[in-house]
Structure 1
Amino acid sequence: MFDNLKSLGITHPEEIDRYNLRQEAHHDILKIYFRKDKGEFFAKSVKFKYPRQLKAVDSLFENAAPEINPNLAYVIEELDQLCQQDPLEVDLKNKILEDLRHLEAVVSNKIAEIEADLDRLTRHK
């Protein structure tokens, strides 16, 4: 039972509390949260990155549409069984806060990268 989760290295699927799925560029990012032990402030979590697959709409791949990785779909089925939640019943406030924190980190990293590029350009003149 829960073979797909076990194949990810999750040895105790019954300890899963919730999960989050988001799309980033050409990947789906799955984050699985485990139940907190008494006295812990933060839940333990693991993150997995799945590349999106292109589904051919025509024979030449001219109109290819990205779709979820089939392995990820099987994992999500198992997670839904464990979490007994409707994917539409996600706590929207927490999802928005997580997305904002993630966006903040991505933007900060990109700004640092651009500043480093500018610094290299000005040193070469």
Structure 2
Amino acid sequence: MFPTLESMGITSFDNIEKYTLRYEGGFDVLKIYYRREKGSLLPKSKKFKFGRATRTVLADGGKQQYREVSEPSLVVLRAVDELSRLLGQEFEDKQSKEDLLNELEHLERVVANKISEIKEKIEKMS
């Protein structure tokens, strides 16, 4: 029913809560979030990176000028379509203020943990 998602290794369709798609460093990044019970050892999200196809097209103006255009891969487009059908929604590129605040808080925790980890390594070297 969802062949693209299955080919990506996604099998627990009932547990998918939401997804995000963003462009980062030349890649389309699809992140799928799962509903998990408290204390579950399963991951709360999975991240997939997709390269973009680049092609050269003739630019307007009649001066035989060409430019490169990047396009998302067909796999990410199909995956987003399947996720939209699965969740019964249309994908919106905009995030809510609450989503952005949650993402910021998560990033702050990750950075703080990484800083602590590096400080511990430095202390062990002394």
Q: Percent of aligned pairs with the same residue?
A: 32
Kept after mapping to 2: 8 A contact 1:6/1:13: no
Q: Hey, which of these two has a bigger chunk of helix by percent? A: 1
CA RMSD of aligned residues (A): 3.4
Structure 2: runs of 5+ lacking an equivalent: 115-126
Mean Cα deviation higher: 68-77 or 54-63: 54-63
Q: 1:51 and 1:87 mapped to 2: Cα distance? A: 20
Counterpart selection for 1:65 from 58, 63, 69: 69
- Tell me the TM-score normalised to structure 1 length: 0.67
Structure 1: runs of 5+ lacking an equivalent: 109-125
Q: 1:10 and 1:22 mapped to 2: Cα distance? A: 19
Report how many residues are paired: 106
Amino acid at match of 2:74: P
Kept after mapping to 2: 8 A contact 1:32/1:45: yes
Q: Hey, which of these two has a bigger chunk of strand by percent? A: 2
- Tell me the TM-score normalised to structure 2 length: 0.67
Q: What per-residue deviation string (whole Å, max 9, x for no partner) do you get for residues 3-59 of structure 1? A: 11010111222221110111012101110011122x359x71100000111132139
Q: 1:17 and 1:47 mapped to 2: Cα distance? A: 14
Kept after mapping to 1: 8 A contact 2:15/2:36: no
